[in-house]
A and B are shown apart, each in its own frame.
Chain A
């Protein structure tokens, strides 16, 4: 079974802090994604990566950056956390040619105070 793990289930940070969210997948997937999910807004794509060191902006990249130094690991960085970044963050991965089925991690509930 595909396994996607995220570094924390719950995280509380202060405004202005730099925040790192890590995601690891164990199925050698080429594609990895970071979403945030807010009530009534659904899943919104922040960034995605289709290969090591490659990244593309999603629909809401402002205030975020990403890093993919190894194929299995995709990190989301909040350079200076703000209260409007309080949300559920979900990581996903997929294999090229798999008709885009995505496998999600358990999510990180981030609260910025």
Chain B
């Protein structure tokens, strides 16, 4: 069966450290992998997109890697700040899909303490 797995346990991290989140998937062939941020009671907000033929993408303090052999994406927040505290969702855009559907993971909560 198809699955997208993200750590269900919250990641507690000290300000200034690097937070690393994992997204693993099975039985998908994604064209793109996206990461979203969701604050409590709000809708997700798009952060980064990486294509299947890209290894790494960066945006300010964020870095995403994509390994289609391992079927895994890593999401890094460097020099983390309390304002980075949120839930982070990965989402797959499928090569065989159309109309822009995404398959979302359940998300990992990040808590950055001062």
Contacts and interface: CB of A to CB of B under 8 A. Distances in A.
Contacts of B102: 100, 102
A106 B89 CA distance: 16
Contacts of A104: 43-45
Interface stretch (B14-22, B58-66, B75-83, B104-112): B104-112
Given A106-B43, A107-B43, A100 B107 contact: no
A92 B43 contact: yes
B59 to A, nearest CB: 13
Interface residues of B, number: 24
B104 to A, nearest CB: 4
Interface string A33-45: 1010000111101
Given A48-B99, A106-B43, A100 B104 contact: no
Interface string A11-52: 000000000000000000001010100001111010010100
Contact of B100 (A43, A96, A106, A109): A96
A72 B30 CA distance: 28
A109 B41 CA distance: 8
Nearest to A10: B41
A31 B85 CA distance: 30
Given A42-B106, A43-B89, A48 B42 contact: no
Interface of B: 8, 31-32, 34, 41-46, 49, 51, 89, 91, 93, 98-102, 104-107
Given A40-B8, A42-B104, A43-B44, 5 more contacts: A4-B43, A42-B89, A58-B101, A96-B99, A100-B32
24 contacts: A31-B99, A41-B106, A42-B106, A43-B44, A43-B89, A43-B104, A48-B99, A48-B100, A50-B98, A50-B99, A90-B43, A99-B31, A99-B32, A99-B51, A100-B32, A100-B93, A100-B101, A100-B102, A102-B44, A102-B102, A104-B43, A106-B43, A107-B42, A109-B41
Interface of A: 4, 31, 33, 35, 40-43, 45, 48, 50, 56, 58, 90, 92, 94-96, 98-107, 109
